[in-house]
Every structure is written in structure tokens, then in C-alpha cells.
Structure 1
């Protein structure tokens, strides 16, 4: 017959469980042994000082217990994946970049436009950066309506779309729509500047999101219809850039919005890269109509 020792080995106690303290000992924080405290964690019963306390639904918990508990909590997501957006930083950043580039045009419009405008001939000659840089230029001074309209449209619909899609997906739609507009200019046009291709891509994205969430999409259709008419009525507007951005923006958003729940992030990443690759291959293997 064996008997249990009156004082078991401390190493036999399960890991994470508070060690007993002598009755006459002053309790100290488990992380800061030099700090006296009489507060214990509600989960593990370890003594914790004010720096180690985390307010819980009942009492206080230690840092480790709060961290372990948060791992089991499902993080909130935007409707189509990604972190929820409270402040639309991507929208404000895109607006800031467009305005800063326009200020550079105010200083030296000829140099900026000649080097960075979307030009089919220059892209065919290897200046591929124009496919993106042209989307951040606008009609140079003394014309102000071009940038004012585009920035107003981005200000109105950008934050709402960014909250729906999530920041990274919203940025992907914007940039791919801008690229789609430039590819259409490359194939069927000659020269263009402006964020209009990206903005029309956001119009297409708004329609897809409204349909996917069951909202009334008639207002978006009217918006797209009116701007499409203006595209062909007002002289000097690149219909290629507008329609190319509209189509690509709608396609990319549809791929994001209708992605299967299982492996949604991988599907969205893969299809986004596929659209990017398709645009690149078109430019690499097809020549502009003017060449």
C-alpha cells in the first residue's frame, strides 16, 4: 500500500494551472514577481498586476488567456472577404495620388503628359508603364473638369465599394479596370489620359455588388447608361477606355462576389491574377490597330 506525499512535486501540476502559494506569502504577479497584487485571472487563477490585467465579460483575465480566447473567435469580414473597412484609406490614397499628379501637370504639363500618357505606339515600343500611369493623368490645365468629375465620382462611390469589397479587393478592381481601359485603348484607339477607365470599372462593380446582395440595381443602370451616352456624344472622350474599364471592372467584381465560400480567398486571388495575365498577354501578342 502506498500513500500520496503531503507536498507533491510542483512539476507534476498541469501546465498553465496556478501554483499554490503559502498561506502567509504575499501574492505577486506571475509575469512581474516583484509586484504585489491581490487580483487573479478569472480563467487560470494566476495573480496578475494592473499591467497584465485585461477586462473580460466577468472580472479580469491575464494576457495569455485573452490571446488564447481570441483564437477561437471568428474574425469579422467584409461581405466578400477581407477585413472590415471603417476608414476607406485606399479611396483617399487614390484620390491623393491623382491630385498630386495633376499638380505636377500644373508645373510642367508637357513633360509629364509626354512621358506618362497612355499611347498605343509607345506601349508597342516597350513603354509598358503607360498602361497604368496614363490612368493617373488628366487633361492638363487650363482644363479642370476632367479631374473634378473623376474625383467626384471616386469620392461618391469609392468608400461604399471599399467597405463592401474590402480594401485589397477594391484596389484590385480599380487597378485592373484601369488596365482594362488602357488595353482597349491600345487595341482600338491611340492615346488617352484619365482615371475614367477605372471609374467606369467602379460603375460596373457597383452593378455587380447590387445584384449579388439583392439590392435594386436600376439606379446604377441609369448611371451607367447616362455616362455611356455622354461618352459617345461629347467629342474628345476615349470610348475605348471607358468601355474597357467598365467590362473588366464588372468581370473582376463578379469573380470576387460570386467566389465559392470554400477556398474563397484562393479563388479570388487566382482569378484576379488570371485577368491580369490575360491583359498582359493581349498587349504582348496583339498589335494595336494603328500599327
Structure 2
């Protein structure tokens, strides 16, 4: 009897390390593992797997804007802020009572008839106190997203002008700062306007994005000067804003305009002139410090108004 040689076994085709049922002969140039078409990533030389690409990107330094923020191509924060203002305007048109609840009223009293009165020491249960001084601190920010409805003040022109100003200045500022710093600038300017209005005229329900807009104007001037840009446009916009602040003082909240301008200017100076080595720390500390000062001033004024 003669021995029969065994039939040689055919070697199995290699398979993707992530998809074992997919045959492939391509290997990752970094880890040498087999990868299928879905797992391949183009590299400078050959193909890499997704994990090697992810690992390699960890060592790639993120591009930064001129003042330290992440570079942004699309000004999403600007778009979102405009959208929020427009949505709030539509909401107040559908439900006018939102204005009374979320405007910048510092201290007021609602009577049995639903009307608003200057607070007084009364024990009548039909009256109740409302406003920032009486626990409604959310008004400090919500008022910055509300605008005068048609038939009152500037009407639709109020929101139209503010949204144009945000569109005009928001895009270049967001490009300079990055999204996080720009959002901080906008909100702190809005808060600064609300706080000064609360300090000076607490019995008036101010509203509008004008405080934030004035803050953006101040910041645009500071950044343009810091970067050595042609100051013609920045000077024109700033002068126009200051002239409007004075001219409109009799029928708009000049306090909100001035407060926003000052707050925006202060935080812009911190963002623009923070030393490179400690830039992030200085910028963050400046933002927190300004926020703390504004809230402290609000607390002091609220405690004074709460005592009738």
C-alpha cells in the first residue's frame, strides 16, 4: 500500500480587522493591519486605518484665531443669536404677556387689575412685587432678546436695526475671537446694559439687544486698533453709536446702551491685550471678574429695592 499525500489546504484570504467577513489585501501603512474600503483613509503615503488617523490627529495643533479662539469659517454664533432674537420676537407677537414677564423691569408692583405700579408698602393681597429686585434675575438676559412690538416705540424697526448691526459686526468679531469668546463678549455686553439700566432706572422695563450691539461696536473699535487696521470704518461706527446714544436719550434706554458699550469695551481690552503666554488665563479671569462685578452690583441694588 502506498501512502497518499494529503491535499494541501488553501490559505484563507486576509480580512479587515474591523470587518472580518470582508476580504482585503490592503494594509494600514502605520499599524500594518488589513483594512477594507470603508476603513481606509487617504494618507500622504498609502492608506491608514481610522484609528491611526484619529491617533495622529491628536498631535496636530488646532488653528487659532488672532485672539486665541479656534478658527471658525462659518459664524454660527452670530446666526444663532439673530435666530434667537427673531424667534423671541415672533413669540411675543403671539403672546404679548411675555413682554411684561421677561422685560428688564427692576422693581414693580402688579395690582388686582393687572396693571403695573411703582412698588409701595402695602399689605393688600391683591398686589404683588415683580422684577429683578424680587428674584426675577433672569430678566437681565431675557430682556436683551425682546424688542418693541409694532405700534410701540420704533416697532419693527427696533429689531430690524439691531439684527442688521449684529449681522454687520458679529461676523468679523466671531472670526477674530472664535465662537466661545465671541459668545462671552455678546452676553457680557448684554448683561452690562441690563445692569446699568437696573441701577439707574429700576422701575422701567427696558428691552432690546441694543446693549449687546453697543458692546460689539466698542469691541470692534478695540480690536481694529489692536490689529493696526484702517480705523476709518471703526471710528465711523463708534461715533455713530455715541451720537445715537446722546440723541436718543430721551426716548430709549441710554443706560442700557452705555452699560453695554462699557462692558463690551472692558472685555474687549482684556481679550485684545492679554499677554500671549497667559492669554487664556487672563481672558477667562477678566470675563469671570466682569461677571462677578455685574452680579454684585445687581445684588446690592436688589437688596436696597427689596426694603420698602
TM-score under structure 1 normalisation? 0.84
Other-structure match for 1:62: 49
Shift of 1:38: 1.8
> Do residues 197 (structure 1) and 211 (structure 2) align?
yes
Residue 94 of structure 1, aligned match among 81, 98, 102: 81
Instruction: Write the distance in 1 (CA, Å) between the matches of 2:173 and 2:288.
Output: 20
Q: Does 1:240 align with 2:240?
A: no
Q: Which residue of 2 aligns with 1:30?
A: 17
Question: Which position in structure 2 is the counterpart of 1:112?
Answer: 98
Give the aligned partner of residue 255 of structure 1.
270
Counterparts of 1:169-188 in structure 2, within 5 Å, are 169-188=181-200
1:116 Cα offset (Å): 1.3
Runs (5+) with no aligned partner, structure 2: 1-9, 108-130
Q: Is the 8 A contact 1:120 1:288 kept in 2?
A: no
User: 1 CA distance for matches of 2:179 and 2:193?
Assistant: 21
In 2, the alpha carbon distance for the partners of 1:237 and 1:209 equals: 28
Counterpart of 1:137? 146
Q: Is the 8 A contact 1:188 1:288 kept in 2?
A: no
Which residue is equivalent to 1:18?
none
CA–CA distance in structure 1, aligned partners of residues 200 and 35 of structure 2? 70
In structure 2, relative to structure 1, the CA distance for the partners of 1:134 and 1:43 (3 Å cut) is same
Note closer, same or farther for the CA distance 1:209–1:268 as it changes in structure 2 (3 Å cut). Answer: same
Distance 1:43 1:165 in 2: 37
- Normalising by the residue count of structure 2, what TM-score does the alignment of the two structures yield? 0.80
Does the residue aligned with 1:119 lie in a helix, a strand or coil? Answer: coil
Tell me the matched-pair count: 268
Question: What's the counterpart of residue 125 of structure 1?
Answer: 134
Question: Which residue of the partner structure matches residue 224 of structure 2?
Answer: 210
Assess if the C-alpha contact under 8 Å between 2:145 and 2:207 holds in 1: yes
Matches of 1:169 and 1:138 in 2, distance apart?
Answer: 25
Secondary structure of 1:216 counterpart: coil
Q: 1:213 to 1:114 in 2, by over 3 A?
A: same
Partner SS state of residue 52, structure 1: coil
Tell me the distance in 2 between the aligned counterparts of 1:108 and 1:34: 59
Structure 2 vs 1, CA of residues 153 and 118 (structure 1 numbering), >3 Å: closer, same or farther? Answer: same
Kindly indicate whether the alpha-carbon contact (under 8 Å) linking 1:201 and 1:249 is maintained by their aligned counterparts in 2: yes
Q: 1:34 to 1:101 in 2, by over 3 A?
A: closer
Compute the displacement of 1:287 (Å). 5.9
Question: In 1, Cα distance between the equivalents of 2:169 and 2:141?
Answer: 21
Counterparts of 1:97 and 1:30, CA distance in 2:
47
Q: CA deviation at 1:233?
A: 1.5
- After TM superposition, the structure 1 stretch with the greater mean CA deviation from structure 2, 112-121 or 43-52, is 43-52
| Distance apart, 1:248 and its partner CA | 0.4
Could you list the runs of 5+ residues in structure 1 that have no partner in the other structure?
A: 1-22
Q: Distance in 2 between matches of 1:125 and 1:224?
A: 36
Output the CA distance in 2 between the equivalents of 1:215 and 1:288: 45
Contact 1:231–1:242 at 8 Å: present in 2 too?
Answer: yes
* Structure-2 change in CA distance of 1:108 and 1:53 (3 Å): closer
